[in-house]
Amino acid sequence: MTKQEHEIEEADVEVINEEPKTNGSLVVSEPLQLIPLEQMKKWYDTFSEFTKSILKPGLDFGTIPGVSKPSLFKPGAEKLRFAYQLCSEFKLVDKSEDFVLKFFDYTYRCTIKDRSGRILAQCEGNCSSEETKYKYSFKPNYDLKPSKEEADKLKAEKKGKQIKLNGNWVWHDRVENPEIASLRNTLMKMAQKRAFVGAMLLATGASEFFTQDVEDMDIQETAFNIDEFNPRKDKVHFGKHEGKTWGEVPHDYLKWLSDNAKDENTKQMVDKTLKECYSENETTRDDIVGDIEKSIEVEEYKKKINACTTKKAVQEIKKEIDGDKLSKDQKSFLMKAINEKINSL
């Protein structure tokens, strides 16, 4: 323990063990002080707006069936740290390494401090080689071609799973990972990541909006089943379309998620929504382009582009569009408008 840490702990003990003030035999307690309600409401509204306008679904956070709240991912936690101007420190508090038994386990503590060095939160994260995703790997078995019912039964017995290869579903047997020792660095990084996300949730008071990152935990394998996902009934739990069913989400936004989401579950839900809700409605390319042209974001940029009187001004708008979180179709449409405007000047 460093001298600074020792001083911080001593200060904490002094505050915690401070004797209550007395008035004769009557103990006088100091009431807890709430910050003004208006200030609290302002923080809540600001944080809500931050999650909707800055954090990107599928990249910074994601929704997982079976989990009540969106799950905060590491990129989202890093944006929170930057927004609050906090710093993070990591310390290895426990480890076990057995190369004979092929067992590796690491626990890290993440400490979040403000700019003055004051500790705001601490959280420990653990990762072990006994976790399913590390202990086992999946080996393709081209000789076994089970039916859907047989594949579901084998998967329930934890004997393997179907994985898509080159557009075809191929059965993969689950086998023990023979190179588990090579994952030591991965296990350490994952333990740090879990500690970091948990500490940021505590430090920023974001637990109402997000839960601990479960994208890399075993709950995902058991809780998520794409066959149980219904885009006409299941609702979106994040972003500007929160509260809508997946089938009510605009096509261009779904396409953007499909192109940019890092969370595999989110991508699967988007793909199923596009297939079931848009294919059945026989949405044509002309219909989609028409919807893009009428979208509020595109309309605003079209006005800016049309108002430009120099090529330099158009280039500035182009930079703004490149940095905006628009869908690929929206950006493609606006790039055509920009090129037409530049050619006309």
In a domain, 104, yes or no: no
In a domain, 157, yes or no: yes
Which of 127, 146, 175 is at the close of a domain?
A: 175
How confident is the model at residue 64, as a pLDDT?
Answer: 67
The residue type found at 148 is K
In a domain, 251, yes or no: no
Q: How far is Cα 37 from Cα 228, in angstroms, rounded to an integer?
A: 42
Residue 311 pLDDT more than 90? no
In a domain, 29, yes or no: no
Categorize the per-residue pLDDT at 194 as very low, low, confident or very high, splitting at 50, 70 and 90.
very high
Which of 149, 175, 201 is at the close of a domain?
A: 175
In a domain, 310, yes or no: yes
Q: How far is Cα 125 from Cα 292, in angstroms, rounded to an integer?
A: 44
In a domain, 242, yes or no: no
Q: Are the C-beta atoms of residues 134 and 201 closer than 8 Å to each other?
A: no
Q: Per-residue pLDDT tens for 247-270?
A: 888 888 888 788 777 666 777 888
Number of folded domains in the chain?
2
Provide the domain limits for residue 169. 138-175
In a domain, 201, yes or no: no
Over pLDDT 70: what percentage of the chain?
76
Provide the terminal-to-terminal Cα distance of the chain, rounded to the nearest Å: 67
How confident is the model at residue 239, as a pLDDT?
Answer: 66
In a domain, 151, yes or no: yes
Q: Per-residue pLDDT tens for 68-123?
A: 678 888 999 999 999 999 999 999 999 999 999 999 999 999 999 999 999 999 99
Where helices occur in 148-284 by DSSP H, the ranges are: 148-156, 184-204, 219-223, 251-260, 264-273
